[in-house]
Every structure is written in C-alpha cells, then in structure tokens.
Amino acid sequence: MCGRFSLTATPKELADIFGLLETEDFPARFNIAPTQPIIVVMSGERQRPGSNLPDRRALLVRWGLTPSWVKDPRDFPLLINARAETAAEKASFKAAMRHRRVLIPASGFYEWHRPSKESGEAPQAYWIKPRNGGIVAFAGLMETWSSADGSEVDTAAILTTHANARIGDVHDRMPVVINPEDYARWLDCRTQEPRDVADLLAPVDDDYFDVIAVSDRVNKVANTGADLQTPVHAVVRPAAKPKEPPANPQLSLF
C-alpha cells in the first residue's frame, strides 16, 4: 500500500509539469498522511478549437475516497488505496475508474519493511523517490461525497499495483506511476474507458526509484520537516519476492 507521501514542488512547478489552467496555493509537505488535503490533477473544461490554453486544473481533496452512495462516512472504511487489478469491478471504485480518473503529484513516497514477528527486528522506514529527481504522478481516483445537508467533500485514493524488483524487497505493493506521455490518455474519461487504459496500470521500470532508509520519525504525523528524508544506516533487508503479475493484466480488471 501507499500510506504516506511527500510533495515539495511549488504551484508554479506543478503548473508547468502538468499544464494546469488553475493551481491551488499550498506549502511544501514532507509527510502527507491519510485524511489530509492532497493535490489532484484532473481534466477541466474543453477549450475552444484553436485555443492554446491548458485544459487541466488542480484541486485540493481529502486523501481517503468515499463513494457517493455511502450514507455515513463514519461507518465506512477509509479507502486511501485501490488495487489496480480489481478497481474497475469493485463497487467502491468502478464509477471513478470510468468517470473520475486523476493524477496525484508527489515528490516520492514512504514505505515500511516489516520483518516477521519471529525475527524480533523493528520495522524499517524507506523514502522512495524518482532516481532522477523531479515529480512523479500517481494514478488516482476521485469521488465527491454529498451529505444530507447538501455539503460536499471531494475525496481521492491512490491506485496500487504489485511491486517491481526494486521495491519488492521492502513491500509487495507500490503506487501506479503514470508517465508524462500518458497523462492525457489517463485523464481522458470522455473517450477512454477503463479497458483502454488498463495497460498503464503496470509497475514502473525497476530503475525508476531510489530506495533510501530513513528514521522512524516519519511514523508520527506530527513530524513534518525535511529531515524526515535524511538517509540513515539500515541493516541489510531480506529479499522478498514480489507477487507475479497475471499473464494478461486486462483479465484481472474485467
């Protein structure tokens, strides 16, 4: 799963990277946790033919998707992640997979290697960031939940897939990464159905991310400084085989 991430880019940098018509003002954040506001990038209104204006916009939403049909969020689990293999068929996600796909910008994410209880070893936190720096775009889903009094809350979840070889010895899942050349296709919910973008829901290349051991200070939401990403020495972590992908990824979606 992906339970913490970071975004330290400026609004202007995001506007340039994602071609945004509108941007939200937000500070650099080093320890984004579930239920907190996150930035998502979504398709906006179509521009007139010949217009050079971008047609994407950024929106602040709550991290933790609540389907529109939920009556009381207090009685519903917090859905911070959605499994890419089954999202198109699950009641909580299938409408968003068809109509509300978004990109979730990040500078990287945190993951924990959790040894077996028998080993007696403590979990080790890792900061996982693009090897070449910059911003990564996670595949996301968005839903707007409406309460009985008419108020609305925009919510989102990050899609995950089986881990690649680089991440697999830390955890068996990782966020789905959408490459820049695929932004438009992923966000196009007008003409691109879930089956048309199923090929994008695969693990990113093994050499895309660096995996850096960091202190357990990231465990506490109250810790929000840049020092959370300072490397620390860690014992050699045991290798764990990532789960094998299905022979045909589309068969697991439909």
Query: For 52-66, how does the pLDDT look when each residue is reduced to its tens digit (9 = 90+)?
Result: 566 899 999 999 999
Among 41-55, 94-108, 237-251, which stretch is predicted with the lowest mean pLDDT? 237-251
- CA terminus-to-terminus distance, the chain: 22
**Residue 224 pLDDT more than 90?**
yes
Q: Which is more confidently placed, 22 or 198?
A: 198
Catalytic residue, chosen from 85, 111, 143, 189, is: 111
Between CA 29 and CA 202 the distance in angstroms is 27
**Residue 246 pLDDT more than 60?**
no
Residue 63 neighbours by CB distance under 10 Å: 24
pLDDT of 82-118, one tens digit each? 999 999 999 999 999 999 999 999 999 999 999 888 8
| pLDDT-derived band at 49, boundaries 50, 70, 90 | low
Q: Give DSSP secondary structure letters for 93-105.
A: THHHHHH-EEEEE
**Residue 18 pLDDT more than 60?**
yes
What average pLDDT does range 63-89 have in this prediction? 96
Is 2 labeled as catalytic in the residue annotation?
Answer: yes
State residue 51's pLDDT score: 56
State residue 222's pLDDT score: 97
Q: Give DSSP secondary structure letters for 191-236.
A: T--HHHHGGG-SPPPTTSEEEEEE-GGGGSTT--SGGGG-----PP
Q: Where do the DSSP E strands lie in the chain?
A: 4-7, 20-22, 29-32, 37-43, 56-63, 81-83, 101-106, 108-113, 124-130, 136-146, 152-162, 173-175, 209-214
Beta bridge partners of 160: 83, 175
Q: What are the structure tokens assigned to 91, written together?
A: 């009641």
Catalytic residue, chosen from 2, 85, 143, 189, is: 2
Q: What are the structure tokens assigned to 16, written together?
A: 């340039």
Among 131-140, 163-172, 189-198, 244-253, which stretch is predicted with the lowest mean pLDDT? 244-253
**Residue 247 pLDDT more than 50?**
no
The C-alpha angle with vertex 107 and arms to 104 and 109, in degrees rounded to 5, equals 80
